[in-house]
Amino acid sequence: MKKLHLLLAFLTFGLFISCSKEENNSGGSAIQSITITANPSEAYVGDNIQFTVKGNNNVDVTGTAVIYVNAAPIVNNFFTTTAAGTLSVYAVYQVSSTVSLTSPTIQIPVTQGINFNKRVLIEDYTGTWCQFCPRVSYSISQVRAQTNDAVVVAIHRSSGSAIDPYNFSAASVLESMIGLNGYPTGMINRKTDWTYPENNNIAQVVNLTNGTNPRIGLAMTNSVNSANGNVTVQVNVKFGKNFSGLKLVVYALEDNLLYNQTNSTSFYGGVNPIVGFNHKDVLRAFLTTSILGDDIPGATTVNGVYTRTFVYNLGGAQAANIHFAAFVVDSAGNALNSRDALTNETQTFEVQ
């Protein structure tokens, strides 16, 4: 009988220990402390910060912890900054009805960054021989009817025996980059497909001129020397926050090129060919060393300005028909913001 009592006592004690551990257990070991981290750890006004809370056993308890920003609890683990300063952030995790854990407080500096007007880049891979290309040309005109914030580049290509007088052979590098598999193809901000049929998806492009403003601004100062036909193109890039891995691309474009356009669409009256079609924004040259972009060197930090100057010779073209497009791409090749300017134009940064 005595042995039986001892056995029952041992089992009861073991059950008590097991239940006690379970109350404080997450992921197989007791949580004795918690920490909170932020992404990003340094923010700009308007940034959305995500917080993560983990126990000392590396178990994520974000969903059940309460996060405090400047002593006020937030609804979930995201916080949008509204003013410059420093955020004091900590988390509280309830282990049991009587036990809670509080993380060490972290400090997040918030800087007043700079927002710039948001423009969308459209690169239209096209050809005068291409029977369905007028669809994208028409769609671009519809975009322009809704916004002035579209920068358009028409990249003409020949195809076999179908010769385009404006063929830009260097575009093969771009075609490889995007995996081009047919014409026409519209690309938005360099690497996003404009959904087919483009004329039914005008909003896809226009919407990219709205929303969160970019932290990259561009402004050009251009002047033409009528004596030698050289255009001096000065491109200025301003940074609204700290960046890395940026590249600059600069194009020379030509308007008012009249040439028949093959047409098997209902657009432009459905005539085939469209006689003397006005080809606009035709890519004639890239002024940067690479069509994929040249590295922007130095400190690309908030309030910094990078300036680079190019010279383009008109080569007999009318100065009034030439304009320039400049845009900045990130390390993945996506255009962050863009701008176009005439041969004789001085621009300022479009700060919002």
- Got the DSSP string for 110-129? EE----B---EEEEEEE-TT
Res 115: pLDDT: 95
CA atoms within 13 A on the CB side of 271: 9
Report the predicted TM-score, pTM, of the whole model to 2 decimal places.
Answer: 0.81
DSSP-derived secondary structure letter, 184: S
The answer for residues whose C-beta is within 8 angstroms of residue 177's C-beta and 6 or more apart is: 191, 292, 333
Q: What is the pLDDT of residue 46?
A: 86
* Element spanning 324, H or E: strand 322-329
Half-sphere exposure of 15 (CA within 13 A, CB side): 6
Output the pLDDT for position 162: 96
Residues of the chain falling short of pLDDT 50? 1-28
How many CB atoms within 10 Å of residue 3? 7
Average pLDDT value for the chain: 92
Identify the CA nearest to 336 among candidates 111, 113, 119: 119
How many Å apart are CA 242 and CA 223, to the nearest integer? 31
Q: How many other CB atoms are there within 10 angstroms of residue 179's CB atom?
A: 9
